[in-house]
């Protein structure tokens, strides 16, 4: 049995992994889908002070409270920032990392630095509150505003990711207008420390390529 902890991207909750969660549990694995502070069913906790550190602590706290060992952390999109930070803080609890069309930051980097101008324009659409990035119109109705500070804050890392048994990167090939994750994909493609995959599908690979994603996640475990 493998323990998988699933971390969603911006504006989403653990429900975005519903199908993957069910498939993994059917295989006898322990699965913990996480909703981060201030998002979806926890949106009542959103305020200007919620940032990347808050979300990293969400994940670290879950690993510790659930007495998780040898976890496979799966992060979608923004969730890549969160699994990177948590793995750095409690490396003894983490075995492998799977980035699903996600950010893979190095020390000091932020989402703002790693993304493209189109995404930055979206991040700044916070006129109503000044700190809450609204979900895009095509998102699931359960999506909610995302804390701007978490996009702007640079991550603090004490080491690189080479200490973990396995690191997988899953790239979505179908983005309208080009993928903000292409530079990350190209950076990791020839790195022998990474297993890199490119799937036919849009950013929501849990929806567009569920069988291929399941295979990759199982292989990582």
pLDDT tens profile 85-133 = 999 999 999 999 999 999 999 999 999 999 999 999 999 999 889 999 9
Q: Could you tell me which of 24, 6, 39, 53 has the C-alpha nearest to residue 139?
A: 39
pLDDT tens profile 162-210 = 999 999 999 999 998 899 999 999 999 999 999 999 999 999 999 999 9
Please give the pLDDT value at position 127. 80
Note the maximum CA span of the chain. Answer: 46
Q: Do residues 90 and 203 lie in contact, with contact meaning Cβ atoms separated by under 8 Å?
A: no
Structure tokens at 70: 């040898």
Name the least confident of 5-14, 27-36, 64-73, 121-130.
121-130
Per-residue pLDDT, averaged over 61-86, amounts to: 98
pTM over 0.85: yes
Structural domains in the chain, CATH included, are 3-220 (3.40.50.1820)
Render the burial of 50-80: b for 16+ CB within 10 Å, e for the rest: bbbebbbbbbbebbeeeebeebbbbbbbbbb
Annotated catalytic residues are 77
Q: Do residues 57 and 34 lie in contact, with contact meaning Cβ atoms separated by under 8 Å?
A: no
CA 188 – CA 95 distance, rounded (Å) = 19
Q: For the packed helices 210-220 and 18-26, what is the interaxial angle rounded to 10 degrees?
A: 50
- State yes or no: pLDDT of 9 exceeds 90: yes
Residues in the chain: 221
CA 55 – CA 150 distance, rounded (Å) = 8
Indicate the average pLDDT of the chain.
Answer: 97
Please give the pLDDT value at position 176. 87
Long-range CB contacts (< 8 A, 24+ apart) of 117-120? Answer: 118/177, 118/180, 119/180
């Amino acid at each position: 049995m493998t323990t998988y902890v699933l971390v969603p991207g911006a504006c989403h909750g653990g429900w975005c992994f519903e199908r993957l969660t069910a498939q993994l549990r059917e295989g006898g694995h322990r699965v913990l889908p996480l909703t981060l502070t201030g998002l979806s069913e926890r949106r009542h906790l959103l305020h200007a002070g919620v940032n990347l550190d808050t979300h990293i602590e969400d994940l670290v706290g879950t690993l510790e409270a659930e007495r998780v060992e040898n976890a496979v952390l799966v992060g979608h999109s923004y969730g890549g920032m969160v699994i990177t930070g948590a793995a750095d803080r409690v490396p003894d609890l983490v075995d492998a990392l799977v980035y699903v069309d996600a950010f893979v930051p190095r020390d000091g980097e932020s989402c703002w630095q790693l993304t493209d101008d189109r995404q930055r324009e979206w991040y700044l659409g916070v006129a109503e509150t000044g700190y809450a990035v609204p979900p895009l119109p095509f998102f699931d109705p359960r999506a909610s505003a995302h804390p701007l500070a978490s996009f702007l804050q640079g991550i603090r890392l004490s080491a690189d990711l080479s200490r973990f048994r396995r690191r997988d990167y899953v790239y979505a090939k179908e983005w309208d207008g080009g993928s903000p994750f292409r530079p990350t994909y190209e950076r990791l493609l020839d790195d022998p420390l990474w297993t890199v995959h490119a799937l036919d599908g849009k950013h929501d690979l849990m929806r567009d390529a569920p069988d291929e994603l399941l295979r990759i996640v199982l292989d990582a475990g």
